[in-house]
Amino acid sequence: MSLPCLYSFRRCPYAMRARLGILFAELKVELREVVLKNKPEHLLAISPKGTVPVLVLNQKTKKAAAELDVIEESKEILEWALEQSDPQGLLKVDLATANQLIEINDQEFKPWLDRYKYADRYPELTQLDYRKKGELFLQQLENLLAKQSYLLGASPSIADLGIMPFVRQFAHVDREVFYSLPYPKLQTWLKDWLEHPLFQLAMVKIQPWQEGDTPLIFPRPLK
C-alpha cells in the first residue's frame, strides 16, 4: 500500500500543525512541499481552494481526483493522525476544552495575528492595536500555563500542537517585543516547543515538489 500524501508549506502554521500530528503519531507520509505562487495542478484538482495542508489518503489509486479520500483542514489532519496512533496520549484530555481552545485560536486569534503581521494591509487600526487584540488570547494561554506545564495538563496534548505554530508566528512578527511582554509562562512554553526534537524535525527544509519527483518520505532525519 502506498503512503498518504501530504501537501505542505514549511512556514505555514496550519501545515506545521499537520506535520506535528504526523510526527507525534509516528506515522509516515509522502511530503510534497508547495510553492504557493505556483501551486501544482494535482493539488488544485483535488482541493480547488488551493490552500495547505491537504492530505490525500489514497493518492496512488486509479480514482479520479474528485473521488480521492482527501482531508483539507489542518485540525482534521491532526485529529486523523492521532486517531491512527497516539503513543504519547495527546488525546487523553478533555477534548471539548481542547477543541474550544483551538477554535478560539483559529476563529478569533488568527485574524488578529494576520492583521498584526500585515498591519500595512489593514490601516483601520495600528499594528499596536492589532497586537493588543491578539494578546487577549495570549493572556488566556498564560493563565492556563500558570497552573501547569502545558495548556491542558502536565504533558502535551492536541491543544498544544494545534496552537503552538500560531503563537510562534505571532512571536516572530517582532521577537524582541514578544519576549518583553508580561507572559513568562507562555514564553517558556514556546521556547521549549521550538527546541523540541519533533518540532525541529517538522521544520527540516526540503525542495519544492515537482511532478515526476521521487517520493520524499516524511519524516526525514535531521541534518
Q: What is the DSSP secondary-structure string of 129-154?
A: HHHHHHHHHHHHHHHHHTTSSBTTBS
Cell of 21: 500530528
Cell of 222: 535531521
Which stretches of 85-183 are DSSP H helices?
95-104, 110-117, 127-145, 158-173, 175-178
Percentage of the chain surpassing pLDDT 90? 91
Q: Which domains does the chain have, with CATH numbers?
A: 5-88+201-218 (3.40.30.10), 95-199 (1.20.1050.10)
152, 141, 159, 148: which is closest to 21 by C-alpha?
A: 159
Neighbours of 143 (CB within 10 A): 12
What is residue 220's predicted lDDT score, i.e. its pLDDT?
79
pLDDT tens digit sequence for 167-211: 999 999 999 999 999 999 999 999 999 999 999 999 999 999 999
Residue-level pLDDT at 165 = 98
Q: Once rounded to an integer, what is the mean pLDDT over residues 70-95?
A: 98
Residue identified by cell 495542508 is: 53
H or E element, residue 33: strand 29-33
Give the CA-trace dihedral at 51, 31, 103, 91, to 10 degrees.
160
pTM for the model stands at 0.94
Mean pLDDT of all residues in the chain? 94
CA 112 to CA 119: how far, in whole Å? 10
